[in-house]
Amino acid sequence: MSPVSIQTVGIIGTGVIGASWTALFLAKGLKVIVTDPAPGAEDRLREYLQSHCSEVPNAQVSLKDCLSNLTFVKELDALLGKVDLIQENGPERLDFKRRLFAHLDENTPEHVLIASSSSGLPSSEFVTDCKKNPARILIGHPFNPPHLVPLVEVVPHSATGSEYVDAAYEFYRGLGKEPVLVKQETPGFIANRLQAAVCAEAYSLISRGVVSAEDLDKTMTSGLGLRWALTGPIMTNTLGGGGSFTHFMDHLGPALQGWLGDMEKHKFDFSSRQVESVKDKVDDWVSHLDLKEIEANRDTFLGDLVANKQK
Amino acid sequence: MSPVSIQTVGIIGTGVIGASWTALFLAKGLKVIVTDPAPGAEDRLREYLQSHCSEVPNAQVSLKDCLSNLTFVKELDALLGKVDLIQENGPERLDFKRRLFAHLDENTPEHVLIASSSSGLPSSEFVTDCKKNPARILIGHPFNPPHLVPLVEVVPHSATGSEYVDAAYEFYRGLGKEPVLVKQETPGFIANRLQAAVCAEAYSLISRGVVSAEDLDKTMTSGLGLRWALTGPIMTNTLGGGGSFTHFMDHLGPALQGWLGDMEKHKFDFSSRQVESVKDKVDDWVSHLDLKEIEANRDTFLGDLVANKQK
């Protein structure tokens, strides 16, 4: 069965990610039915929405309308027949997800898209007990916080139907998100792998005393990151090659290989000695900072940046 | 001898980097004396400055004043006695730089700071023939284009005097740049190493067909890069650990190691087969794009972003 136009979204789990998804969906005018078994979850969610719905870049409805489009239900089963798409944000435990997805699959109409926010578990591992229509299950992995950062990694398992992949992609895109398609299930998908590559080298440089933790971060926020907010690594290479990626690779590939060789030699090994050395240096720096203020500034700036890019 | 307050800058070489440095120094109200032996260099530079001086974030003087503070001299020796700092942007050839720096050192007053924009050669290798005061020589490696991107990597050699390191650091900072101190000469310094780490994994994912070149870049420009424009990898980890880097490492370190292990298994090997595969996929994508427009948009956006961050 084909997926249908999505009017009502079901949210399972209202931790950091689930609450932020809820703010996004509401601000874009969707009806959202939410469930979370944790005590006090509804109050915490409503409080979160009060301060965050209006941060959504290019929000389409007022805060008042956001809140009136929200329904919180105590029992998961109360939402299963009423939604066109489920965005799942439960704990990252395989046994839990396997049982949950078997239940979701069995108790929702066949056409309902089911997306998991999982960052760690590939969906092939938790659809194993789904009998009805596992083809409509996939990963829609957001980048935190989803109501501000456009990226969503769409990761089908090998039996996800292409019509459901397309429907998820278009759904997210219609909300102003920037979906990317991860064509093979790969540990860490794309973003976390690129991030891990940077972190490993960052930890090595800091633990070896080549650069302070503060200056390492500044290298990113005042240089690389500014560029990468606008042109990705491949386009940056291409422009650096005078408009030709081939030219870049032919002329700068050898330098790149040289640096990578030296990085390999000094690879961060996650030994407790190296880990402690980085922790000490980072803690020394961070202890002088007002993290609440940094986080608030980041979110304001991120919202402006995204709204500006969408213009 | 101590470095003095810097009023007049000498620029050697007006390629892409030298011209952009010139625009920055002029827009910040400095006098700049420039030399470049290439035929037509002066005309090209003046044309460049006409369109780029006004892009400098928080420029302090008008385009007219910029141009009246510029002197172009045909002979290098004509500027050596008249400047407080030299920013060198010559070809990246060791024999050339060795001769040039010996000449600069011999023919400038001892207190003049001499900074090289070199991205590849460590200054320890090209100060070998400097007899007078090699302690005032260091690397001031910008990020392209220097008139827009704040990052400058300040890299002393082992005999650079700390007073000169401090003077260079303060000079760049006074212009609105964000200097970082690279405490040991390291191939690629900091930024190029972090960039190489990302590129190697990007090439691997693209060549293996896990993600398209376009979506790889989108992962950066719609997710990671947006964050990294504001908080670097270490602060991102710290905020991700609820305000504690130690918490992050203890809880997410193992996942990171798992991803890095898988990345190691699928490491891009720069074999011609893998290189051709990436080139083909990138060229397919890029051939449909208007690169001139992308570059112009990037520069406008970069200028706005930097001006906004400085506010």
For the stretch B59-106, pLDDT in tens is 999 999 999 999 999 999 999 999 999 999 999 999 999 999 999 999
* Average pLDDT, integer, range B258-280: 97
pLDDT at B309: 81
What is the C-alpha separation between B281 and B12, in angstroms, rounded?
Answer: 39
DSSP assignment, residue B104?
H
Cα atoms in the 13 Å half-sphere on the side-chain side of A178:
23
Strand ranges (E), chain A: 8-12, 31-35, 70-73, 85-88, 113-116, 137-142, 151-156, 178-181
Average pLDDT of every residue of chain B: 95
Cβ distance of B193 and A263 shorter than 8 Å: yes
Q: Report how far apart, in Å, the C-alpha atoms of B2 and of each of B113, B136, B167, B173 are.
A: 10, 9, 9, 18
Residues of chain A with C-beta less than 8 angstroms from the C-beta of B233: 195, 198-199, 202, 216-217, 220
pLDDT digits (tens, 9 = 90+) for B234-253: 999 999 898 999 999 999 99
Find the catalytic residue in B110, B153, B170, B178: B153
Q: How far from the centroid of its chain's Cα atoms is residue B178's Cα?
A: 11
Of residues A51, A28, A20, the one with CA closest to residue A143: A20
Answer yes or no: is pLDDT of A205 > 80: yes
What span, in angstroms and rounded, lies between the C-alpha atoms of A50 and B105? Answer: 64
Chain B nearest C-alpha distance from A118 (Å): 13
Number of H helices, E strands in chain B: 14, 8
Distance CA(B116)–CA(B138), nearest Å, equals 6
3-state SS of B109-162 is CCCCEEEECCCCCCHHHHCCCCCCCHHHEEEEEECCCCCCCCEEEEEECCCCCH
CB B118 within 8 A of CB B97: yes
Report the alpha-carbon distance of residue A278 to residue A197 in Å, rounded: 16
pLDDT at A1: 44
A254 and A190 Cβ atoms separated by less than 8 Å: no
Distance CA A131, CA A127 (A): 9
Question: How far, in Å, CA of B87 to CA of B175, rounded?
Answer: 14
- Its ipTM equals 0.95
Question: Quick one: which of A260, A128, A144 has its CA closest to A201?
Answer: A260
Average the pLDDT over A25-47 and give the result. 97
Q: Kindly report the nearest CA distance between residue A65 and chain B, in angstroms.
A: 28
Which residues, in sequence order, are CB contacts of B286 under 8 Å at separation 6+?
A235, A238, A245, B213
Q: Specify the fold of A8-181.
A: Rossmann fold (3.40.50)
CA dist list (Å): B130 to A128, A184, B13, B85, B199: 70, 56, 20, 17, 37
What is the CATH architecture assignment of A191-310? Answer: Orthogonal Bundle (1.10)
Nearest 10 degrees: Cα torsion B167, B168, B173, B177: 180
**Cβ–Cβ under 8 Å, residues B135 and B159:** yes
pLDDT-based confidence at B1, cuts 50/70/90? very low
| Residues of chain A positioned with their CB less than 8 A from the CB of B121 | none
Using a CB-CB cut-off of 8 Å, the residues of chain B touching A279 are 245-246, 249
Q: What is the mean pLDDT of residues A118-127?
A: 92
Encoding tokens for residue B283?
A: 């060229």
CA-based nearest distance A110→chain B, Å: 28
Contact B188 A224 (CB under 8 A): no
Element (H, E) at B53: none
Q: Read out DSSP for A191-215?
A: HHHHHHHHHHHHHHHHHTTSS-HHH
Q: Please tell me the total number of residues recorded for chain B in this structure.
A: 311
Query: What is the model's pLDDT at position B4?
Result: 61
**CB-CB under 8 Å, A239 with B294:** yes
Distance of alpha carbon B161 from alpha carbon B171, whole angstroms: 15
Beta bridge partners of A86: A10, A114
Short-list A176, A37, A21, CA closest to A87: A21
3-class DSSP state of B294: helix
Contact across the interface for A190 and B219, Cβ inside 8 Å: yes
**Interface probe with A: pick from B93, B149, B193, B252, most Cβ of A within 10 Å:** B193
- Cβ atoms of residues A179 and A152 within 8 Å: yes
Element (H, E) at B181: strand B178-181
Residue B30 has a pLDDT of 97
State mean pLDDT over B205-223. 98
Q: What is the Cα A165 distance to its own chain's centre?
A: 17
Single-letter residue type at A142 = P
Q: Kindly report the average pLDDT of chain A as a whole number.
A: 95
Q: With pLDDT > 90 as the criterion, what percentage of chain B qualifies? A: 89
Indicate the residue of B215, B240, B291 with minimum beta-carbon distance to A243: B291
Domain ranges of chain B: 8-181, 191-310
| B208 neighbourhood in chain A, CB within 8 Å | 184
Query: pLDDT tens digits for B3-52?
Result: 568 999 999 999 989 999 999 999 999 999 999 999 999 999 999 999 99
Mean pLDDT for B191-198 is: 97
A15 three-class SS: coil
Task: Please give the order of strands across the beta sheet that includes B31-35.
Answer: B70-73, B31-35, B8-12, B85-88, B113-116, B137-142, B151-156, B178-181
Q: Which of B148, B198, B277 to mutate to test the interface with A (most CBs of A within 10 A)?
A: B198
* pLDDT for A311 beyond 80: no
Residues 6+ apart with CB under 8 A from B167: B2, B3, B6, B113
pLDDT band per the 50, 70, 90 thresholds, residue A4: low
Confidence (pLDDT) at B310:
77
Find chain B residues with C-beta within 8 A of A215's C-beta: 180-182, 190
CB contact under 8 A, B221 and A232: yes
d(C-alpha B269, C-alpha B271), whole Å: 5
> A184's torsion region: left (phi>0), alpha (psi -120 to 50) or beta?
beta
Rounded Cα distance, A57 and A147, in Å = 8
Q: Is the pLDDT of residue A2 over 60?
A: no
Of the candidates B229, B239, B259, the beta carbon closest to that of A193 is on B259
Q: Evaluate if residue B191 carries a pLDDT over 70.
A: yes
Active-site positions of A read: 153
Cβ neighbours of residue A182 closer than 8 Å, sequence gap 6 or more: A139, A153, A154, A155, A189, A190, B210, B211, B215
**Residues in chain B within 8 Å Cβ distance of A195:** 224, 233, 236
Cα A189 to Cα A177: distance, rounded to the nearest angstrom: 17
